[in-house]
Structure 1
Amino acid sequence: MIDLVSRSAWGARAPRGAYGALTSTRGVKIHYTGGHVDPRVLDDHARCVSAVRGIQNGHMDGNGWIDIGYSMIACPHRKVFVGRGPGHLPAANGPGLNSAHYAVLGLVGNSGLVQPPNDMLLGILDAIDYLREHGGAGREIKGHRDGYSTDCPGDALYDWVRAGAPRPSAEPSTPPPPAPEEETMPEIVSLGLSAEVIVPPSKDYQPWWDLEWRDTAGWHPAGGQSIAPSRDVWADVVAHVALRGLVPGERVELGLTRHQPDGSLVDIAWPIGRLLSVHADVDGRVETGLGGHFKLDATARGRVTIRHTSTGPVTLETASAFKAILHPYA
């Protein structure tokens, strides 16, 4: 029997508009996050809940969708989160592809937790059965990459899909040891001024750090400026960065992160619980924007963080960010 986690139970935000109706499909498309999934979710279901909320925030605030894009989400504890749910058009399959299949996410990524444990596979199958019973889902089980140019759902899940999505043993699986939580890409810079600034809650947009021109020697360490509100708040952050001097094709990670006042990482808040991964162009340059909506308190400061592995001289051409302290929360 399916172990559903209702939208109210995982703290879902209300959708911004009405879903399109979906009464029947050819089946389901299987997805993964495409980024880093903290292996600690295996032992802490609360981290699964936090990850799903982060995914919704990324889809609504980063992608501009009306809600989380998936129909259902399966975590490593054989629990199935209700996303858009049965009868509603998903948004995650790609333009023109959402009416043919529901979208089911397995909570694994391309780093950290990459191998779906048996209980996650069983949860995906539970979600499929549920969508067949309550949403008219057809018999097809496909990967997101079937018909759309993407690496999703990752090799591990896609191999399982191509094998016919067999039902594994109900015994808890023992996945291979995850990579150490020390990131393979060290934290190079936290953008901002040299000291954090305490700001009172406000409903008005306030500059966090406005514009900086920095060469490699001027980059700030992990103890740089944070958003440090004087009380618990929800905050919106939008930022823009440009780097040059990278190796063409080099991967760069950036996003919003939450840290303790001593600089230690709490979690990655955007996008969808992971850092955004981009690649340098043929001129060795990266320019991108990001934004997100996340919770800050007296023990969790917010930052913009960049990671890369280049050993040569890299210049941070521009860095701008603005925050809005939306409202206090209880």
Structure 2
Amino acid sequence: MDKSAVTGATTNTATWIGFAAVLMWALLAILTAASGAVPPFQLNALSFAVGTAVGFLWMAMTGRWRDLVQPLRVWALGVVGLFGYHALYFTALRNAPPIEAGLIAYLWPLLIVIFSAALPGERLRWFHIAGGLLGFLGAALIVTRGASLSFEARHGAGYLAAVACALTWSSYSVLSRRNATVPTGAVVGFCAAAALLSVPFHLALETTVWPRGGGEWAAVLGLGLMPVGAAFYVWDIGVKRGNIQLLGVLSYAAPLLSTVILILFGYGVFTWQVAAAALLITLGALTASRALRIPTRSGKEASAGR
């Protein structure tokens, strides 16, 4: 069998494994809404604690504890990526209007596409950029709901936090590709650190509010099992071994699917903006997916040698 074909199949599989994280992140809004009045950093601590517990259980079953033994630079990247992103996101929403802050923060998929050009062996092509821009336009319609934007200087700190938020997650994702030899089990440690670091922020900035009833506790458990748990593990596989440009564009499906789920559960209404966003994001994904149909350079060379 052609080695390039095997490599391509492996890359495509890893890409779709990474896309599972996008599907899980689509549940973030509905599960957060169902978790009641638990403040953000407390919810962060609880959710990451659940995600960590699942990871530790897996490590105990497989005996992969050595995955946690990593250089300081790897730990720094993981902790800044997971905890830093969430801390900056919450800071942005506290200091700027949610619509503007959310839109800026959602630059991260497009930044992943652009930053990937600096990775060894990666080529940034026109359809990656075009797909990313179409996806961003679709996300903009979802986040703004067609409302006019008003960027005011007094919210500058919030806007800067949102920019830092987008830069943090995109940089974490792309730099993870450079650390492709680091096992995904290390992410369990990053989740544990994020849970622990959320506690002092909660105690300093928030009033403790515990979930009420089984439904709210189930939502917290769901957050920890999927969007604030397993999602980070499969995302790690996707960005390290998959098509990172396509994965970046596909990430714009998260706000669309999240909105559709909210509508289905009665938290929103279907509008023309949702329909237009669905069209733009789908077009963006289809445009970027050209990468799956174009043979690699090694594949072309192998064909020429026959």
Higher helix share: 2
Query: Normalising by structure 1, what TM-score?
Result: 0.20
Structure scoring higher RCO (CA < 8 A, sep ≥ 6) equals: 2
Query: Normalising by structure 2, what TM-score?
Result: 0.21
